[in-house]
Amino acid sequence: MLLLESRIRGVRLLRSAFALPFAFSVASASVVFSVFYNPASGVLNGLLSQFHLGPVGWLTDSRYALLSVAASTVWMNLGYNVLVLSAGIGSIPAEITEAARLDGAAGLRLARSVTVPLLGPSLFFLVVVSTVNALQSFGQIHILTRGGPDGSTRTLVYSVYQKAFAYGSSDFGTASAQAVVLLLVVLACTAVQFGVLERKVHYA
């Protein structure tokens, strides 16, 4: 992130590359990743073949399916995170950074002692929002794996969908109970984050 705010050559292109995921919808990004993960003609297995490695069932092997979906989810959220952190870095007063440089802080020391602490509110916001978004992930799972293989990517949200609507199912009682459990999990995670992490946030 700090590299994106530096005055190096080509930094605008770098910013655009990191912010690009923000321009994709969940559906379109999932379709792109389905091409990457394709076991027969996918980009990832093509790269593995260049190193004489066998193909991997990224979405068909229960050992890799959840990690593959998680990787696509991280990429989809990357653009939004970059924009928030860029705004946070831009809001840091220049005089604070200059004063730290005059005191001998530079590089990693400047980042650790000045930049990261002042980015506390932005980082805390992203942790909370990213956790809630991860617990509510649906589109990428529906398009990439439909909860398979062998239920390895069946999250609570997707289970609610399967119980209530998928394949003619109408088990609304179980789906409602699962939705309540999901709500409680989200509330519990948020409460823990506010109780533990917010204490370490420095609000300027």
Question: What's the CA gap between 100 and 104, in Å, rounded?
Answer: 7
Crossing angle of helices 43-50 and 26-37, rounded to 10°: 30
Q: Is the dihedral of CA 90, 93, 94, 100 positive or negative?
A: negative
**What is the pTM (predicted TM-score) of this model?**
0.84
Please report, for residues 26, 74, 137, 150, the alpha-carbon distance to residue 187 in angstroms, rounded to integers and kept in the order given. Answer: 24, 22, 16, 29
Mean pLDDT, the chain, as a whole number?
87
pLDDT tens-digit series, residues 52-71: 899 999 999 999 999 999 99
In this structure, the number of other CB atoms found within 10 A of the CB of residue 135 comes to: 16
Q: What is the pLDDT of residue 114?
A: 83
Statement: residue 196 has pLDDT above 80: yes
Per residue, the 3-state secondary structure of 58-114, as one string, reads CCCCCCCHHHHHHHHHHHHHHHHHHHHHHHHHHCCCHHHHHHHHHCCCCHHHHHHHH
Between CA 109 and CA 131 the distance in angstroms is: 29
Position with higher pLDDT, 98 vs 7:
98
Least confident of 31-40, 99-108, 141-150, 184-193: 99-108
> Which residues are within 8 A (CB) of 113 and not within 5 positions of it... i.e. 6 or more apart?
100, 105
6-20 confidence digits (pLDDT tens): 555 656 776 677 777
At 119-175, the pLDDT tens digits run 889 999 999 999 999 999 999 999 999 999 999 999 999 999 999 998 888 899 999
Cα–Cα distances in angstroms (integers) from residue 101 to residues 8, 107, 111, 134, in the given order: 19, 9, 11, 38
- What six digits make up the tokens of 188? 């519990």
Task: Tell me what pLDDT residue 132 has.
Answer: 93
What pLDDT score was predicted for residue 179?
Answer: 95
How is residue 74 written in tokens? 């991280």
For 184-191, what is the mean pLDDT? 96
Judge whether residue 204 has pLDDT over 70: no
> CA–CA separation, 35 vs 50, rounded Å?
18
Task: Set out the domains of the chain in order of their start, with CATH numbers.
Answer: 3-200 (1.10.3720.10)
Q: Per-residue confidence at 100, pLDDT binned at 50, 70, 90? A: confident
Amino acid identity of residue 126, one-letter, is L
% of the chain exceeding 70 in pLDDT: 93
The predicted pLDDT at position 97 comes to 81
The token pair at 106 is 């530079």
Residue 34 CA neighbour count, 13 Å, CB half: 14
Counting Cβ atoms within 10 Å, is residue 87 exposed (0-12), middle (13-18) or buried (19+)? exposed
